[in-house]
Amino acid sequence: MTSLRLVPLECGWLSTSASSVVAGLEGNVELPIPSWLVIHPTGQTALFDTGLHHDLVDGVGARYPLMARQFASRFDSDDRVSTRLEKVDVDPLSVDNIIFSHLHFDHCGGTSLIPNARIVVQQSEWDSAHLPKLIEYEVYNPADFDLGHDVLKIDGPHDVFGDGSVMCVPTPGHTAGHQSLRVNLESGPVVLTGDCVYWEAVLEGMLLPPFGFDHDLQLASMRKLRDLRDEDGCRLLYGHDATQWAGLEQSPSGII
Ligand SMILES: [Zn+2]
């Protein structure tokens, strides 16, 4: 039997002023937009997030006029999650699960390209993402994610494949139902932090975005991830860390 594999997929980039994503920082930041493919030894697959919507080939304003005031995108057709999957020899139509860290536009934009998957999302995130006020402000856009897939709404931790190898770890605060994903690779456990931690220095400084659902909850979630690193030996893979991203193996063999 082959090993559990984790394959990082690059689904475009966003750039913005650092202070718009982390309070108090200066300058600009380039943010990789990842989707993460998990291939279970049985052949079942899960995607953790789906990247940017393919409309963003024409810029952020092509789909999100308000977000375009804050973010610029670098995205071409090769950055579609479906194309990235094909490049690592996985048929987008065959993907079994989409696990959402949360439902912001840079985490669920490619969902229409993965039509046969079951979505796994925290119930509180799904509910929050349908609130009219948040849709009006472009915090969420149900046209990105509410597309008729089977949706498994969970409330708390969840064992994705039923064998403890891949676990949803609730890390609320950035949004109401944000979750991270623990993947117990042969080389050791990794945790995909999602937007609970954008990049490494944010965790060291316990820095917060200028926005968010609940900052106290987010700090508690950040401490939980730090404990998973320091006490459980988990390697953290951050949500938008350009330096870490550049060092990851993005071939079909992935991280084992
Ligand atoms: Zn987010």
SS3 assignment for the chain: CCCCEEEEEEEEEEEEEHHHHCCCCCCEEEEEEEEEEEECCCCCEEEECCCCCHHHHHCHHHCCCCHHHCCEEECCHHHCHHHHHHHCCCCHHHCCEEECCCCCHHHHCCHHHCCCCEEEEEHHHHHHCCCHHHHHCCCCCHHHHCCCCEEEEECCCEECCCCCCEEEEECCCCCCCCEEEEEEECCEEEEECHHHCCCHHHHHCCCCCCCCCCHHHHHHHHHHHHHHHHCCCCEEECCCCHHHHHCCCCCCCCEC
Q: Residue 18 Cα, ligand 1 centroid: separation in angstroms?
A: 14
Mean pLDDT of the chain: 95
pLDDT recorded at residue 253: 82
pLDDT recorded at residue 1: 56
Q: Residue 101 Cα, ligand 1 centroid: separation in angstroms?
A: 8
In order of their start, the domains of the chain are 5-246 (3.60.15.10)
Q: Residue 220 Cα, ligand 1 centroid: separation in angstroms?
A: 17
Q: Residue 196 Cα, ligand 1 centroid: separation in angstroms?
A: 8
pLDDT recorded at residue 252: 81
Q: Residue 186 Cα, ligand 1 centroid: separation in angstroms?
A: 29
pLDDT recorded at residue 200: 94
pLDDT recorded at residue 255: 85
pLDDT recorded at residue 127: 98
Q: Residue 236 Cα, ligand 1 centroid: separation in angstroms?
A: 17
Q: Residue 191 Cα, ligand 1 centroid: separation in angstroms?
A: 17
Q: Residue 102 Cα, ligand 1 centroid: separation in angstroms?
A: 7
Q: Residue 135 Cα, ligand 1 centroid: separation in angstroms?
A: 14
Q: Residue 73 Cα, ligand 1 centroid: separation in angstroms?
A: 15
Q: Residue 116 Cα, ligand 1 centroid: separation in angstroms?
A: 24
Q: Residue 158 Cα, ligand 1 centroid: separation in angstroms?
A: 21
Instruction: Give residue-wise pLDDT tens across range 137-153.
Output: 999 999 999 999 999 99
Q: Residue 42 Cα, ligand 1 centroid: separation in angstroms?
A: 31
Q: Residue 174 Cα, ligand 1 centroid: separation in angstroms?
A: 7
pLDDT recorded at residue 249: 81
Q: Residue 177 Cα, ligand 1 centroid: separation in angstroms?
A: 11
- What is the mean pLDDT, run by run of 10 residues, along the chain of 256 residues? 90 94 91 97 97 94 94 94 96 98 97 98 98 96 98 98 97 98 97 97 92 95 98 97 92 84
Q: Residue 107 Cα, ligand 1 centroid: separation in angstroms?
A: 7
Q: Residue 2 Cα, ligand 1 centroid: separation in angstroms?
A: 33
Q: Residue 226 Cα, ligand 1 centroid: separation in angstroms?
A: 19
Instruction: Give residue-wise pLDDT tens across range 54-90.
Output: 999 999 999 999 999 999 999 999 999 999 999 999 9
